[in-house]
């Protein structure tokens, strides 16, 4: 995914990554790549949630 992704896009891709990892059919190398991508996506989701929370708190 190039450029900015929405929370929903990142969450959807993260869900797919988790499903692939849970299936257990990926090679070790592919599993590591999936894990790294999952970590990136989790950070994106957390950053977006933190930003939304800060915006809500600022407006309250």
The three state secondary structure string of the chain is CCCCCCHHHHHHHHHHHHHHHHHCCCCHHHHHHHHHHHHHHHHHHHHHHHHHHHHHHHHC
**Residue pointed to by tokens 């790294």:** 36
pTM: 0.87
39 vs 44: CA distance, rounded Å: 9
Q: What pLDDT does residue 40 have?
A: 98
Residues of the chain with pLDDT under 70: 1-2
Q: What pLDDT does residue 2 have?
A: 52
Ramachandran category for residue 4: left, alpha or beta (phi over 0 → left; psi -120 to 50 → alpha): beta
Q: What pLDDT does residue 3 have?
A: 72
């Amino acid at each position: 995914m190039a450029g900015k992704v929405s929370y929903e896009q990142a969450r959807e891709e993260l869900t797919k990554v988790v499903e692939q990892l849970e299936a257990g059919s990926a090679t070790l190398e592919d599993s590591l790549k999936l894990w790294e991508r999952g970590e990136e996506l989790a950070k994106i989701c957390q950053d977006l949630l933190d930003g939304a929370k800060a915006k809500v708190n600022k407006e309250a």
